[in-house]
Structure formats: C-alpha cells, structure tokens
Amino acid sequence: MTAADPRRALPKVDTLLAHPLLAPHRDEWGRAPLADAARHVLDACRTAIGRGEPAPGVDVLAQRVVEHLDLTGARRVRAVVNATGVVLHTNLGRSPLSSAAREAVLAASGYSTVEFDLATGGRGKRGHAAHAMLRTLTGAPGALIVNNAAAALLLSLGALARGKEVVVSRGELIEIGGEFRIPSIMEAAGVTLVEVGTTNRTHLRDYAEAITDRTALVLLVHPSNYRIEGFTASPSLPELVALARQHRIPVLHDVGSGLLHGTLGEEPTVEDSLRDGADLVVFSGDKLFGGPQAGMIVGAEDLVAGLARHPIARAVRIDKLTLAALEATLLAHLSGKRDQELPVWRSLRMGWDELYSRAQRLAARLGPGAEVREGASTPGGGSLPGQTIRSPLVHLTPRSGSEAAMMARLRHGDPPVIARTEKGRLVIDLRTVAEDDDDTLAAALLRALQAPPASGNGPATAASAESEDRTQHATS
C-alpha cells in the first residue's frame, strides 16, 4: 500500500456505523448485525478498489449497508402467496395449516398444558390427547408422534434393530428431497442394511433367503417420488407379513404421504397397511395428512410403548406448537371435515368451475395480456408421482421485459408471490392460493405489471430482476 492508496480513504467501521441512515436499522437489528454488514461492505469495497475502481463516499457505503441488511431480512421465514399450483411445495413449507390449527398454535404459544394435567394438577403426558385421537382415527392400538417421518424411522430402527440386520428391497432404497436417504438413516440408526431383489423386481423368496437369526426387522418404504413401470414385481404386504411372522420379526411400513384411507392415485393408505398386518406404520404429518411437520407412528401397542421409552424418542419429541396444530388437524379428520377444513385437501378437491370463475375474475382485473387457459397443477411433496390435476391457469404476457424479470419483481414484492413460467409467459395457478388472498394477489400482479422492467422496489431488487432479465435474453 502506498500513501496514495484510495483504500485509506475508506471510513472505519465505527465511523460508518454512526451514519444517520443507519440509526433506524440499529434500533431494529442491534449493533452486531450492523457491524457485520458494515465490515462486509467495506471488504467488498477494498476488493473493488484493488481492481482499480474508485472509493465510494460514506453516504453510498451506508446505503450499501442498508441493502445488505435488507437481503438478510429477506432470507428470514416470510409468508408468501403460492401461485405455483404445487400443493405440497416442500420449499414453501409443504402443508399450510388450517385456521383451527393456526388458532391452536397461537393459544399454545404461551404457557400451556403440554405436560400438565388440569384434572389432577399433577404432571401430564406430552401428546396424551393427540395419541388418543390418532389411535381412534386409525384404529391402531398404539400411536406415537415425533418430529418428522425421518425421525420416526430413526427411532424405530434404533429401538428395534440397533446392531442387527434390516431387510429392504433394492427398489425401495429411495432418496427424498432434502438429503433424506433410506441407507443413510439406517446407518445413522446403527443397523445393517440387507438389500434384497433388484431395482424393478423383488420376490418373496428374496426376502425369505435374506432373513436370518440376525434379522430384526423387515422394512417396506413407499417409493414416494418416483414410479417404476413395466417389468416389475414385489410381494404383497400380507405375504411379507406372513413370512415375517414365521420368523417372529416385525414389519415396518413407511407409507410416506399419510393418506389415511380411500383412494388417491396409487398412494398406499394407512388403513390398508394396518389391515394387511404391518406391525408399525410411519407417515408424515405435513403431506396428505395436512398438518404441521411431524412423524406419525401407529401400530402394535407393545412396540410403540418400547419406542416411546427409548432415549431417541426424547431427542425427537414434538414441541408444544406442533402438538397444538396436530390436535386441531386430527380433529378435522375425526369430525369428517378434512376436505372443508384442511387447506391441502381444499386445494386438491377444488373443482374446475370454482377455479375457472376465480381465474376469469383475476384475468379481467389484470387487463389485456392476461388470459385463462387449461393447464395442470401438481400434488407435490413426493405424493402421486407423475400425476397432475387439470386446472384453469392465468397466463400473463408481460408488457415489457421478460417473464423471468416479472417473476423476480413478484418475489421481491410484499407479500412475495411465487409463480411459474411457461414458454415466455408468467403462469398463475389459483389452486394453491387461498380465496382470501385473491385480492392481495391481484394487487401484487398489478404492481409487478406496472413497474418498468429494470426498476423494482429497491436497488437490490432492480439489480437481480435485471440480471435475470439478461439471462433470459441470453438463453432465448
């Protein structure tokens, strides 16, 4: 560095933090995040100066600190409008909670009777009511609810088969989004995986040959997010159960989505699995069950009681907010109001006519450039792979700029709107938008339509919308 080095002209962190532009932000964030942002901005400046760029003034630097803080803020968990038509959108939190579940969460969020028995004034059992409701709902003698289905598997495998062998078909060694892999869970639980059969065909005799006195469990996993078609085979659940019973080994069935009963594509149901003799059935709380993130375990009373006593159970127990939301969701199922009360089921069941009139209304408000066309929504969440639901979609051709730039403007709006694109058009699917949000969505779309292509509501917004705009042109 020479005496004339422009890097020397940059202010110290403390000087930058004293800038009046940052005062309201210090109030909101506190000093440490502000200082981190200031250091980040100053470091980036030193690098830029090293490349020969001039040193910016302190006002510009303060503005950059604010932008950096805004970026961090945008990464916090925020409510969004899901206009993608993916009903169980894993990246958007899978199942939205029902109004009753939301109210229950709020009510439980202070002091609440999580482990307190109002009748006796003594200690109560966490999940007592939820477990009872889940037993009634499924008819299973035992029920236990943990953090998620992955935890339910970890607990079941750890408690029933640690140090022993677990037999699984090669066609079921699946990976589900978010680093969930059956072989890794088995390894983490300390069990030895014994693979049987091939990817497309596994026979009863493959299981029979693999079972030894080291075998502790037969595991069946519904390959939720993909389908093997054509030359395939696998034994039926009753056949497998009969085989396992001969060897006095329990069968654990991970059915994934948590369809309780009835028919929905080729989804397995909890009811069928229990009826066919699975000793334990595991499913997610936030897929087709339509509740909060949770792992549901139902089945034989003694096995479930053993799981509940295991130390892993304490590590993967559910918290009071989840419990409250689950009880409300269980009640919706028990009272037969699933399709009216649970947002996932309202979305899946919403009829064409109702969606069509909502889509027409939205298109009319957006004016020329918007039209309603037939398209498809996706169940998502690893349920019903390859299947779609026919839906009317609002197609929007941006007046200026690309559809990708408009998508970016929508994402940066308040509330953020998540849409999808198709062949140069922005596509809005109302199947996943609550009716109460139609007005909010229309207003957000109008704002995004009116904004000129390269200016959003802030410098960071404009920059990213613009860069996506360029990418789009470069690839089209």
Radius of gyration of the chain (CA): 27
CB of 156 to ligand PLP, least distance (A): 12
Closer residue to ligand PLP, CB minimum distance, 82 or 156: 156
CB of 318 to ligand PLP, least distance (A): 12
Residue with the closest Cβ to ligand PLP?
256
Closer residue to ligand PLP, CB minimum distance, 156 or 461: 156
CA 149 to chain centre: 13
Which residue intervals of 162-211 are DSSP H helices? 182-188, 204-210
For residue 159, give the nearest of 75, 87, 252 by alpha carbon.
252
Residues 147 and 317 sit within 8 Å (Cβ to Cβ): yes
CB of 124 to ligand PLP, least distance (A): 26
Residues 217 and 157 sit within 8 Å (Cβ to Cβ): yes
Closer residue to ligand PLP, CB minimum distance, 82 or 383: 383
DSSP β-bridge partners for residue 396: 370, 426
Residue ranges in contact with ligand PLP by CB under 6 A: 148-150, 176, 180, 221-222, 224, 254, 256-257, 284, 295, 382
CB of 154 to ligand PLP, least distance (A): 9
Per-residue tokens: 226: 């993909």
Count CB-CB contacts under 10 A for residue 50.
Answer: 11
- Dihedral (C-alpha) 62, 66, 71, 73: value to the nearest 10 degrees? 150
CB of 288 to ligand PLP, least distance (A): 10
CB of 184 to ligand PLP, least distance (A): 12
Closer residue to ligand PLP, CB minimum distance, 224 or 464: 224
Closer residue to ligand PLP, CB minimum distance, 284 or 402: 284
Count CB-CB contacts under 10 A for residue 60.
Answer: 11
Residues 282 and 128 sit within 8 Å (Cβ to Cβ): no
Q: Sort residue 179 into left (φ over 0), alpha (ψ -120 to 50) or beta.
A: left
Give the whole-angstrom CA distance, residue 200 versus residue 254.
19
Closer residue to ligand PLP, CB minimum distance, 29 or 180: 180
Closer residue to ligand PLP, CB minimum distance, 235 or 285: 285
CB of 149 to ligand PLP, least distance (A): 3
CB of 284 to ligand PLP, least distance (A): 3
Closer residue to ligand PLP, CB minimum distance, 87 or 150: 150
Question: Which residue type sits at 316?
Answer: V
DSSP β-bridge partners for residue 269: 259
Residues 426 and 464 sit within 8 Å (Cβ to Cβ): no
For residue 276, give the nearest of 220, 224, 231 by alpha carbon.
220
